[in-house]
Amino acid sequence: MDIYAVGISYKTSPVEIREKLALSPEELTKLKNLLSFHIRELAYISTCNRVEFYYWGDEEGIEEIFTFLEEAKGIPKDSFKDYFYIYSSEEAVLHIFRVASSLDSMVLGEPQIVGQFKDAFEDCSKLGITGPIVNNLMSKALAASKRVRTRTGIGESAVSVSYAAVELAVKIFGELDKCTACLIGAGEMAELAARHLKDAGVKRMLVVNRTLERAEKLAEELGGEPLPFNRLNEAITESDIVITSTASQTYILQKEQMNEIMKKRKLKPIFIIDIAVPRDVDPDVEKVENVYLYNIDDLEAVVEENKRKRQKEAQKAEAILKEEVSKFMSWLKSQEIVPVIVSLRNWVEEIRKSELEKTLNRLKLGKKEEKALNAMTNAIVNKIMHPVFVYLKQESVKGDAKTLKETVKAMFALEDEHEDKDRNQR
Partner 1 sequence: MEKALLTATLVLYAFTTLHYLVYILYRNEKVQFMCRLSLAAAIVLHSSTIVTRWVKSGHFPATSLHESLSIFSLLIAAGYLILELKHNIPVIGAFVSPLNLIFFLAAFFTQELPKPLPPALRSHWLTIHAATSFLGEAAFTLSFVVSVVYILQEREIKKKRMGFFFTRLPPLNKLDDLNYKILTVGFPLLTIGIITGAVWANYAWGSYWSWDPKETWSLITWLVYGGILHGRLTAGWRGRRAALFCIVGFACVMFTFLGVNLLLPGLHTYSSM
Active-site annotation, residues: 48
Among the residue ranges 2-10, 16-24, 248-256, 285-293, the one whose residues contact partner 1 (CB under 8 A): 285-293
d(CA 118, CA 126): 12
Question: Judged by CB, which is closer to partner 1: 308, or 327?
Answer: 308
305 binds partner 1 (CB under 8 A): yes
298 binds partner 1 (CB under 8 A): yes
Q: Which of 89, 290, 315, 346 binds partner 1 (CB under 8 A)?
A: 290
187 binds partner 1 (CB under 8 A): no
Minimal distance, residue 176 CB to partner 1, in Å = 10
Among the residue ranges 55-63, 149-157, 229-237, 316-324, the one whose residues contact partner 1 (CB under 8 A): 149-157
Strand-pair partners of 3: 56
Minimal distance, residue 257 CB to partner 1, in Å = 18
Q: Are 45 and 116 in contact (CB under 8 A)?
A: yes
Question: Judged by CB, which is closer to partner 1: 290, or 394?
Answer: 290
The DSSP secondary-structure symbol of 281 reads B
300 binds partner 1 (CB under 8 A): no
Does residue 25 have a cis bond before it (omega within 30 degrees)?
no
Q: Are 50 and 8 in contact (CB under 8 A)?
A: yes
Binding-residue total with partner 1 (CB under 8 A)? 24
Among the residue ranges 31-39, 89-97, 286-294, 320-328, the one whose residues contact partner 1 (CB under 8 A): 286-294
292 binds partner 1 (CB under 8 A): yes
Among the residue ranges 21-29, 68-76, 127-135, 295-303, the one whose residues contact partner 1 (CB under 8 A): 295-303
238 binds partner 1 (CB under 8 A): no
358 binds partner 1 (CB under 8 A): no
Interaction with partner 1 in 208-237: which residues (CB under 8 A)? Answer: none
Interaction with partner 1 in 250-279: which residues (CB under 8 A)? Answer: 265-269
Q: How many C-beta neighbours within 10 Å does residue 325 have?
A: 22
What does the DSSP assignment read for 179-228? -EEEEEE--HHHHHHHHHHHHTT-SEEEEEESSHHHHHHHHHHHT-EEEE
Report the amino acid identity of residue 82: D
201 binds partner 1 (CB under 8 A): no
172 binds partner 1 (CB under 8 A): yes
296 binds partner 1 (CB under 8 A): no
- What does DSSP say about strands 85-88 and 2-9: parallel, antiparallel, or unpaired? antiparallel
What mask, x for binding partner 1 by CB under 8 A, covers residues 2 to 41?
A: ----------------------------------------
Name the helix (H) or strand (E) containing 42.
strand 39-47
Question: Judged by CB, which is closer to partner 1: 153, or 339?
Answer: 153
Closest among 327, 314, 324, 325 to 104, alpha carbons compared: 314
Name the helix (H) or strand (E) containing 241.
strand 241-245
Question: Judged by CB, which is closer to partner 1: 227, or 243?
Answer: 243
306 binds partner 1 (CB under 8 A): yes
- Residues with Cβ within 8 Å of residue 32, at least 6 apart in sequence: 127, 128, 129
Edge-to-edge strand ranges of the sheet holding 85-88: 39-47, 50-57, 2-9, 85-88
d(CA 184, CA 190): 9
Q: Are 260 and 233 in contact (CB under 8 A)?
A: yes
Among the residue ranges 30-38, 189-197, 292-300, 400-408, the one whose residues contact partner 1 (CB under 8 A): 292-300
d(CA 219, CA 213): 10
Angle of helix 112-127 relative to helix 132-151, nearest 10 degrees?
170
Residues that bind partner 1 (CB under 8 A): 153, 156-157, 168, 170-174, 265-269, 286, 289-290, 292, 294, 298, 301-302, 305-306
